[in-house]
Amino acid sequence: MALHIRVECSAVYEFIGSFMLFVQRKWIHNVDDGLEWVRDVEQQAPDSFLIRSSQLQNYCINEFDMLFAASLKLNHAHHVSLFLTQLQEMSDNAWLSLFADSGLPYDNEQVIRLRQDYIPLLHEWYEHYFRWSVPNWEPILIQDAAEKTRLLHKMSPVDLIELATNGAVFENNDHMREVVLAPMWHYRPIINTCTFTNTTLVLYATDSEEEDDVPPKSLKRMIHALSSDVRLKMLRYLSHESVTFSELVSFVQLEESTVQQHLVILRAAGYIRTFWNGKVERIFLRQEGIADLSAFLENYVQS
């Protein structure tokens, strides 16, 4: 079955993603200006919001898939205020039906949690931070989405996904019929993927243009990725054949969480290619990333 792809620039995706990053703090050390951003937001938000939102760290980050599933299902025209109203008005049965249609293994317990914890805090997130942040990132996302839309007619779906994600290869399979590509700002340079029945939402990172005399963030990520003996060892291993994550863990003999951290850095630098068919992910060296380092470095130092 042919893979269908569409590009969506949505403030709703950015809204959910920014809230998820703030309350969960997952990979915050790998996010551009992550800790500085958190401190700035904390200075703006009321203490009551900070205390209650910190409690969401006790919940599984995968529960945010419930909100992303709703963002795909509801007809909000990418307006956050309308999306919040729709969330508030959804019945318990509507939520359970959404979970079933999306292939999410959630039940009444998660519906109660949505109503009592997530949705009230989302309203506050919008008022205290998000609606004031829009001018900082929305023009960048609109421009990037327009560029990717133009490329839809020039590249295959698989090639466009790899370009947007800096190395993720989605192999055609019977379970994945549609991929929604959405540019994201707050989580850059990390790629987030939400997999639902027949649809995969790929939230890819996009950067703003740097000033001429400032080293590009992409170049700094590439240099940083090579500053670790472990990551260099991983790249050498991946250059021979594609491997699964468990095989990579066995090779480097480190904790899974540590290996995952190293992979996040290598992905952000564009040094690895991941092949995913909906069930199994294989990892391989991305030769273009090695070549890009030399070109980007030469371009910067000689400009």
pLDDT in tens, 131-180: 999 999 999 999 999 999 999 989 998 899 999 998 888 876 655 578 99
Q: 1 pLDDT exceeds 60? A: no
Q: What is the dihedral of CA 271, 2, 152, 158, to 10 degrees?
A: 10
Place of tokens 């992303």: 68
Q: Sheet of 176-184: strands edge to edge?
A: 4-7, 176-184, 198-205, 192-196
Tell me how far apart the terminal alpha carbons of the chain are, to the nearest angstrom. 46
Report CA-CA distances (Å) from 198 to 7, 94, 107, 137, 174. 16, 19, 21, 30, 8
Which helix (H) or strand (E) segment holds residue 282: the answer is strand 281-285
pLDDT above 90 as % of the chain: 72
- pLDDT greater than 70 at residue 250: yes
The domain segmentation of the chain, as residue ranges, is: 4-205, 217-301
Q: 51-77, pLDDT tens digit by residue?
A: 999 999 999 999 999 999 999 999 998
Asked whether the beta carbons of 178 and 6 are under 8 A apart, the reply is yes
Closest to 187 measured CA to CA, from 174, 205, 214, 171: 205
pLDDT: is 279 or 84 the higher one?
Answer: 84
The pLDDT of residue 281: 81
| Model confidence, pTM | 0.91
CA nearest to 202, candidates 175, 164, 245: 164
Report the residue count for the chain. Answer: 303
Percentage of residues of the chain with pLDDT beyond 70: 95
Half-sphere exposure of 195 (CA within 13 A, CB side): 8
217-301 classified as CATH 3.40.50.1000: no
